[in-house]
Structure 1
């Protein structure tokens, strides 16, 4: 019976501590900037209250030194107001084994972090910025995003502990970069709800930094982001040309990386293509994994359309899905826009979704110039220019002129069509995707120094476009 009484008493002590600390936070929040409040007070967790002493958990000794130096008067006034003149605040350090010697600041019994998780209520009063609907479950996997998705999923399972830190995802507009990085954050919070995860665009980050300069709270701004377990920044290319923001982000990046915290970045270009970004930032972006997202192939576009149409509650035939997927190839956002427009047209005209309506909607939505450039056409024009039989490009022929023509055809197929590397390789005698990559790289390197070759390729390209128009 005595044990039951003691258990009830302990629970009451914990509940009292939680309520008292909440009362303290409500006063503190009204007296300092929100970013200072988020950085220095939200990480503090209540432990117990014995009638006069409120014991709280803090991350480190340094944390206490900063608080006492900058907010000691506010804390004393707050504790006296909530508890009374005899009230005292006692700190328990979670991460450090050696407590400070001041008895009024620390106790000698440092709790184990595992025990703390069982007794401390998770409390986060800052917006993560994550969009909950973006998850791995509704992200359609395809050939163009396999590596990016696999790395993102691994990070969601084990943030900061993989070799993918930072993870740098790049690619064109509307290909799913934002969906994927939100999915990482949502998975981290699902598996580790106690972690501090934040998503922000680089534009919003810059705006907050400018406001921090104006309010003289740059240190608090920096420390807030350094306190995160996972920092996710979208469209990092917009830091280009913003030297002061780059400088601050460099220090935040270093602090997070050194402490094993996860960094996820997205961009419309690879790190090396971000001209105007400091070399030291680019070098750090190259520390982890850089992976691109390619436009979805036909099968992936069909799967995306099927998934989205089911979400909207409509059942489209395979023929209609294939028609839309064949005609809208640029990005996922345009595919989704087509479905929304299709629903709107059907609703406004009060008619069933048939091929005529689909064709009209596709024409209204598509921003891509409809030209019939195919790998077959490219092969035909290349072979005509070099006076080579088309089947020679599919054979295992190593003659210099044949190899060059094949590489140019592969290069232009990648440039002028939405075909995947695998599809291009199959058209040229079932070659591996790595052969296509090698061809593209070889041609890109050659045209940098060989102006005549560059002119030849431009001539071929113009002929292809004129033939397809």
Structure 2
């Protein structure tokens, strides 16, 4: 059969068959499974996707593979375009001309699963922070993937990236995104449960003690969305892990959205039961890094606007130029300067910023050591040369020195796990996260 007589859907199905052999199963399930062939006209093939996030990922990560697969099926050169498909057609100002010419097959739409059912039992409203919305989240290179994934889940809960796992060190915005998903779900009238892992654990233990496990199951398994914060606190709680495992399965099987946060990658949650870790890894796992200078400046400007103050450009740049371990420290520095200006009746200028920063340092802030200084100091203290410290040797003395270096680089040099791994010759930053916690 020639490509001219084949409908776009048939061509794409054949291409998917080839791609399935070339792409890892998790990647295929996440990015390609729910796509569709929409149009084939004038040397262009249009692939329909569920949302803009998927389109962008396919464009940037898989374009060469997809192009080759389609060309192999149709036997001629082709350019590929990715287009978001809604229930009513192609997103935008109506269906594209190319799609309208593609015949009946172009009307195949990506339709979401059945809408989430509301729970039969009453659940109290979740304790979400009203300030944590998507509109107030400052997007930068360090968090854009997590933000896009959270947006996609909020727009189409239960149908994309389920479960969604977001991880980062403390104070970088994962809880903000978790609450933002909840805020949008509530605005749509969907039911949800938001809980920290500590609250989930306490409630589960109380239900067992009071003989109310059936009520606990009914409450959690009837939720439209489950937002669970800090899943790492399940480590070591075997009985609670059992309850979480069955709750997760019940929600996932009924197409209910699950969003989870952690302070480390799923692969580093080693003490969690393997069956839980594998289920968490089966969705989309995204991380949030410490903000770069550009993002720090944007965060300070947004925070100043929320506070109703107008610091000059120099004030923002002076505060943003400092290195912070997390966004809370960054916003705290602005709060401190604004409060000082208000209480002392001083103008909010560069002179005041320098004074407040100097006062904070005099009050106990130490000068931040460099990477080189930390490694040299640790090497001298333990009698281990730099090459050995950054090498693969694992004797007790070297391992201890390396672990101490990791901790100091993180706590005193304010370096992220990825940067520490690179400084010490580690391939995986999860080793650093584990080393800093033991």
- Check whether TM > 0.5: yes
Residues 325 and 414, structure 2, Cα contact 8 Å, conserved in 1: no
The equivalent of 1:240 in structure 2 is 235
Partner of 1:159: 157
Alignment match of 1:204 (pick from 199, 204, 208): 199
Task: Tell me which residue corresponds to 1:138.
Answer: 136
Q: 1:348 to 1:282 in 2, by over 3 A?
A: same
Q: Does 2:173 correspond to 1:184?
A: no
Q: Residue 309 of structure 1 contacts residue 316 of structure 1 at CA under 8 Å; is this kept in 2?
A: yes
TM-score by length of 1: 0.54
Q: How far apart are the structure 2 equivalents of 1:365 and 1:343?
A: 14
Q: Which residue of structure 1 aligns with residue 7 of structure 2?
A: none
Residue 338 of structure 2 aligns with which residue? 343
2:318 maps to 1:307:
no
Alignment of 1:425-436 (within 5 A): none
Q: Deviations over 1:66-103 (max 9, x none)?
A: xxxxxxxxxxxxxxxxxxxxxxxxxxxxxxxxxxxxxx
Q: Does the Cα contact within 8 Å between 1:330 and 1:368 map onto a contact in 2?
A: no
Aligned to 2:249: 254
Pair member with larger Rg: 1
Corresponding residue for residue 284 of structure 1:
279
CA deviation string 1:378-422 (max 9, x = no partner): 9xxxxxx99xxxxxxxxxxxxxxxxxxxxxxxx9xx98676999x
Match of 2:169 in 1: 172
Corresponding position: 1:444 with 2:426: yes
Match of 1:327 among 322, 333, 348: 322
Residue 333 of structure 2 aligns to a residue whose secondary structure is helix
For the 8 Å contact 2:417–2:429, the answer to whether it is kept is no
Query: How many Å apart are 1:354 and its aligned residue?
Result: 2.4
How large is the Cα RMSD of the aligned pairs?
A: 3.5
SS state at 1:198 partner: strand
What CA distance in whole angstroms lies between the structure 2 residues aligned with 1:291 and 1:446? 16
* Structure 2 equivalent of residue 41 of structure 1: none
The residue number in structure 1 matching 2:367 is 370
Alpha-carbon distance in 2 for matches of 1:447, 1:148: 18
Distance in structure 2 (CA, Å) of the matches to 1:362 and 1:207: 42
- Report the secondary structure of 2:195's partner residue: strand
Q: Residue 329 of structure 1: CA displacement? A: 2.2
Q: Cα offset for 1:343?
A: 2.1
Partner of residue 269 from structure 2, selected from 264, 267, 274: 274
CA distance, structure 2, for counterparts of residue 278 and residue 141 of structure 1 = 34
Mind listing any 5+ residue stretches in structure 2 that lack a counterpart? 1-113, 376-385, 388-405, 431-438
Contact 1:257/1:263, CA 8 A, preserved across alignment? yes
In structure 2, C-alpha distance between the alignment counterparts of 1:225 and 1:353, rounded to whole Å: 49
How far has the Cα of 1:131 moved from its partner? 1.6
Matches of 1:364 and 1:276 in 2, distance apart?
43
SS at match of 1:299: helix
The Cα of 1:373 is off from its aligned counterpart by: 3.7
C-alpha separation between the residues in 1 aligned to 2:416 and 2:264? 20
Once the two structures are TM-superposed, the CA of residue 362 in structure 1 deviates from its matched residue by 3.1
Aligned counterparts of 1:285 and 1:334: Cα–Cα separation in 2: 30
Distance 1:340 1:362 in 2: 12
Could you say which residue in structure 2 is the equivalent of 1:19? Answer: none
Residue equivalent to 1:127: 125
Q: In the alignment, which residue of structure 2 is the partner of 1:220?
A: 215
- The Cα shift of 1:185 comes to 1.0
Moved more, 309-318 or 361-370: 361-370
CA distance, structure 1, for counterparts of residue 214 and residue 140 of structure 2: 43
Offset at residue 197 of structure 1 (A): 1.0
Does the CA-based 8 Å contact 2:252-2:258 persist in structure 1? yes
Q: Distance in 1 between matches of 2:215 and 2:306?
A: 43
Mapped to 2, the partners of 1:441 and 1:324 lie a distance apart of 27
| CA distance in 1: counterparts of 2:247 and 2:326, whole angstroms | 33
Shift of residue 124, structure 1, vs aligned partner: 5.7
